[in-house]
Structure 1
Amino acid sequence: MSIENAIEPPVASAVIAEEVERSASWWGRPAGGREVLNVALPLVVSSLSWTVMTFVDRVLLKWESGDAMAAAFAAGTLWFSSLCLPLGITMYTSTFVSQYFGAQRWDRIGVSVWQGVWLALMVSPAMLLAIGFAPSLFDMAGHGPLVREYEVIYFQVLCWGSPAMLIAQALAAFYSGRGKTKVVMVVDSSVAVLNLVLDWCLIFGHLGFPALGIAGAAWATVASLWVKALIYLLLVLQPSHQRDYGTLLGMRFDRDLFRRLMYYGGPSGLQLLLDVAGFTFFIMLVGRLGNIEAEATSMAFSISTLGFMPVWGFAMATSILVGQHLGENRDDLAARATWTSLQFAMGYMAVISLLYVFAPDVFLASFFAGDRTGETRDMVHGLSVTLLRFVAAYNLLDAALMVFSSAIKGAGDTQFVLYTSLVMATSLATLSYLAVEQWQLGVYGCWALLASWVWCMGVVFLLRFLAGKWRSMRVIEAAPATT
């Protein structure tokens, strides 16, 4: 057979495959609607399960008192802020898994997951040390004495769940990075249901449990997080996974791989820390404006979080698909997956925004179910309705921000993400302080500032994605040469 004849069939096959790919529908083509939805939909449910869990915590606590609800929101946000740096790195484990999976290097998947677990174990003692600093932290917030007492209790109890949160996130990357997101959905949803049952028992004292109020809500979350970590550990160590992906043999510290996880994941973790810290600082400052402003802001943010978490699911799917397709050296498919995810996210956010504007009580009714009519109730309700309109004003660009930042992080462009977040988070914190303490802009001025901040972030990440530098990036090492 001649050289020409030997080469022709593969070339012809490639041309035919390319023609078929181009002629396929938006739904059925590679990186099209079906592929994105298959990966994203379970992550949407998984993300919602955690958000519903915290949302119901706050609703149940609101039935106890508005102060307990506001305290749980502020303390829970600060607790999450304390976890953001290591959490962002453990979450980035899924990028390594996805790129190794796309490159068909199965032997590197198990050991990648365990580097995330090792990081979680290393930082856990520091996470527990935060318990002792809680009173001082909330003294600085300047909130009322009862709210401050609740905040300290809620934060200190949640800290016992910090190691479990990090370990579970690293182990979950074994499934999410390979696109097996249905497993993540089932585990996270089951744990959310467990948390809701424990909430009902421990907040109000049902089924023989003591009525612990806000402490009970926190202990319910802690117990659920440890159950979640145990479930993922048992799943990852199944014999078939040990054989195919080295999930047991990979339970070793790999210095080079750990260093690369820190190099690429560290900026991602810092970015998450900076973004959440900026929001936390904003919430703490708005809390100084008064109890009504603090309550309404807590409600608006709780509802906003519940609303945008499905977009967070699409953002995570974007990162996974970008990683997989870049592992295959198909940056064109990585870009297509990003645009497809954005279309889903924008369509969803448009519907949610319309509901915030024209039917806000769909979301607010549960908060006021146990309240009698009164002046304070009416003031909190009216302010919450207005704040949801601010959320609607930035929702679409928030979707763009999440999708495009996740896409470039899935490629490894985390340094840019870090520098951008450093500048923007510092700006948000500084301007929020000036708005509250110096300019006396009030709650509406603060929220207008927040909306403008989200708009700027969305545009910045869109432009970075369009520049295309991410297309040539990889977080995994080159495959060994074969002879």
Structure 2
Amino acid sequence: MSIVKRWSAKGGYKEALDIGLPLVVSMLSNTVMTFTDRIFLGNYSMDTLGASLPASIAAFLFLSFFMGVAEYLGVFVAQYTGALQPEKVGRSMWQGIWFSIPSGLFLASLWFIAEPLFALGGHPAAIQELEIVYFRILTIGSAPFLLGICLSCFFSGRGITKPIMIVSIASTLINIPLDYCLINGIGPFPELGIVGAGLATLFSFTVPVICYAWLIFTSANEEEYCVRSAWRFDGSLMKRFLRFGLPGGVQFFLDIFAITFFVFMVGRLGPIELASTNAVFSIYTLAFLPTIGLHISTSIMVGQAMGDKNPDGAAYATKSVLHIALAYMTVMALLFVVFPEFLLNLFRARGETGHLFDDVVVMGILLMRYAAIFTLIDAVAIIYVGGLKGAGDTRFTMLIMGSAALFCMVIPLLILNIVGVKGVQGPWMCLMLYVSVLAVSFMWRFRKGPWRRIEVIEFSPSMK
């Protein structure tokens, strides 16, 4: 089908962009927030920059399982919307809330394992101390973060994504100046360094919860979606939610675990290798997080099509989003190749330690070439896994993610460490192999089509 026809067709480019662009903007705002946070920390000192990525990835590692489960609520909302069962939307949202509250409390308790956890990383003592305090603050913010995800699914699952964009932008506009002031001690704020960055992030997790609650629990939404009256725990719906959501959570956890393990192993190579990898990963978020917005858009469109018993429409929508994602990632890959030095120098530390960043830039330019190729392959993996999740094929994605993490990342990286390979290119080649296996596997599975027969929600007799 021509580009013109695909633009206006159901599940075409226009619909994908209508749903996806606000999510992309939302993710971009989160990217800007994370990116500026790293720049502020890099300008503050190389130690805070070196500590920020391992600590934030470790916190996200533990959060990722619960996040992967909570965000699967969006598929239930999408499928109930496609099946014309709006009264089930509010009930689904509340099951996500009941899942998120105890999950957040558990994650906050990780405060007590921070010291032994980062001792395993083997990083210098000064960096370990910064990693511990940053990790502890981030884990406290897990509960509001998970609640924000659940509440946002009320909008995203129905394909109404502009409120999510507005809330994300508002949170970012508050976070960035607060982040800068708390790190550097501007005005009435004390100079807190990496502690200030953590506190600003904690505040940015809380703002969306308040905004979403104000937008959702209205009389109009209660009348159509039962957002107030359906607050009770529903064992049958929770069981179905966990049946599909838990594998999705495990899959997401395994992916983050593989990246976390990669970062910690690179950290053992030396401070230059760690700082250059941290900087390149931070730059890569400019490509990665907006594509996650398209990933969510894929799950929404596939979920609504499957709720309408239209698997062909789900496949068509997935292909439309893939075209958009590859176009975006191609642009980002070119930027990584053409302007690597400019992007890396954004992280240059101020003052006397600034000259130490020269070696980081030299190594980072090489790694940016890897990142450019990585972005294109990752786009395929991200979009196809979104399609599979939207259709409920979460067990397959979990198994593939676990196998790839073990055989492409963990075992090869351990072997490189045991035999004493010191170069940074070895670990990065393992990372490239990992994402390539994911891309090929998910694309093959989606095109093969067993997901077409999966039923995530219960259908009314008239739709059987």
TM-score of the superposed pair, with normalisation by structure 1: 0.93
Q: Which residue of 2 aligns with 1:44?
A: 24
The structure with the larger Rg is: 1
AA of the residue aligned to 1:143: H
User: Could you give the per-residue CA deviations for residues 57-83 of structure 1, whole angstroms, max 9, x where no partner exists?
Assistant: 111001111110110111001001110
Q: Which residue of 1 aligns with 2:337?
A: 357
Tell me if structure 2 keeps the 8 A contact 1:397–1:459: no
Q: Which residue of 2 aligns with 1:312?
A: 292
CA shift for structure 1 position 394:
2.0
| Aligned partner of 1:393 among 373, 386, 406 | 373
Identity %: 37
1:132 aligns with 2:112: yes
| Aligned partner of 1:232 among 200, 209, 212 | 212
Q: Which residue of 1 aligns with 2:278?
A: 298
Q: Which residue of 1 aligns with 2:263?
A: 283
- Alpha-carbon distance in 2 for matches of 1:148, 1:369: 19
AA of the residue aligned to 2:97: V
SS in 2 for 1:289: coil
1:69 aligns with 2:49: yes
AA of the residue aligned to 1:478: F
- Alpha-carbon distance in 2 for matches of 1:372, 1:404: 47
Tell me if structure 2 keeps the 8 A contact 1:286–1:294: yes
- Alpha-carbon distance in 2 for matches of 1:254, 1:144: 49
CA shift for structure 1 position 455:
1.0
AA of the residue aligned to 1:47: M
| Aligned partner of 1:152 among 128, 132, 142 | 132
Q: Which residue of 2 aligns with 1:166?
A: 146
| Aligned partner of 1:459 among 436, 440, 445 | 440
SS in 1 for 2:159: coil
1:261 aligns with 2:206: no
| Aligned partner of 1:179 among 159, 175, 180 | 159
User: Could you give the per-residue CA deviations for residues 326-365 of structure 1, whole angstroms, max 9, x where no partner exists?
Assistant: 1111111111110010101111111111111122134223
Distance 1:358 1:24, change over 3 A: closer
1:219 aligns with 2:199: yes
- Alpha-carbon distance in 1 for matches of 2:406, 2:3: 47
Q: Which residue of 2 aligns with 1:412?
A: 392
User: Could you give the per-residue CA deviations for residues 1-46 of structure 1, whole angstroms, max 9, x where no partner exists?
Assistant: xxxxxxxxxxxxxxxxxxxx99971211111110000000001011
AA of the residue aligned to 1:82: F
CA shift for structure 1 position 474:
2.3
More displaced stretch, 414-423 vs 224-233: 224-233
Tell me if structure 2 keeps the 8 A contact 1:68–1:147: yes
SS in 1 for 2:6: coil
AA of the residue aligned to 2:444: L
Q: Which residue of 1 aligns with 2:122?
A: 142
Q: Which residue of 2 aligns with 1:332?
A: 312
| Aligned partner of 1:84 among 37, 50, 64 | 64
Tell me if structure 2 keeps the 8 A contact 1:436–1:446: no
Tell me if structure 1 keeps the 8 A contact 2:269–2:422: no
Tell me if structure 2 keeps the 8 A contact 1:371–1:377: no
CA shift for structure 1 position 440:
0.9
- Alpha-carbon distance in 2 for matches of 1:447, 1:204: 34
Q: Which residue of 2 aligns with 1:479?
A: 460
AA of the residue aligned to 1:382: V
Distance 1:23 1:290, change over 3 A: closer
More displaced stretch, 359-368 vs 258-267: 359-368
TM-score of the superposed pair, with normalisation by structure 2: 0.97
- Alpha-carbon distance in 2 for matches of 1:371, 1:40: 42
CA shift for structure 1 position 407:
0.1
More displaced stretch, 387-396 vs 37-46: 387-396
- Alpha-carbon distance in 2 for matches of 1:199, 1:71: 16
CA shift for structure 1 position 242:
1.1
AA of the residue aligned to 2:80: Y
Distance 1:217 1:22, change over 3 A: closer
- Alpha-carbon distance in 2 for matches of 1:292, 1:451: 21
Count, aligned residues: 462
Tell me if structure 2 keeps the 8 A contact 1:82–1:127: yes
Distance 1:82 1:373, change over 3 A: closer
Superposed counterparts of 1:17-28, under 5 Å: 25-28=5-8
- Alpha-carbon distance in 2 for matches of 1:111, 1:425: 35
Q: Which residue of 2 aligns with 1:241?
A: 221
Distance 1:178 1:446, change over 3 A: same
Structure 1 stretches of at least 4 aligned residues deviating more than 4 Å after TM superposition: 21-24, 371-375
AA of the residue aligned to 2:124: G
Superposed counterparts of 1:420-459, under 5 Å: 420-427=400-407, 428-459=409-440
| 5+ residue gaps, structure 2 | none
- Alpha-carbon distance in 2 for matches of 1:437, 1:399: 32
Q: Which residue of 1 aligns with 2:350?
A: 370
More displaced stretch, 432-441 vs 222-231: 432-441
CA shift for structure 1 position 207:
2.8
AA of the residue aligned to 2:234: D
User: Could you give the per-residue CA deviations for residues 350-381 of structure 1, whole angstroms, max 9, x where no partner exists?
Assistant: 11111111221342232127367976321100
Tell me if structure 1 keeps the 8 A contact 2:44–2:349: no
Q: Which residue of 1 aligns with 2:321?
A: 341
CA shift for structure 1 position 124:
2.1
- Alpha-carbon distance in 1 for matches of 2:288, 2:137: 27
Distance 1:319 1:441, change over 3 A: same
Q: Which residue of 2 aligns with 1:12?
A: none
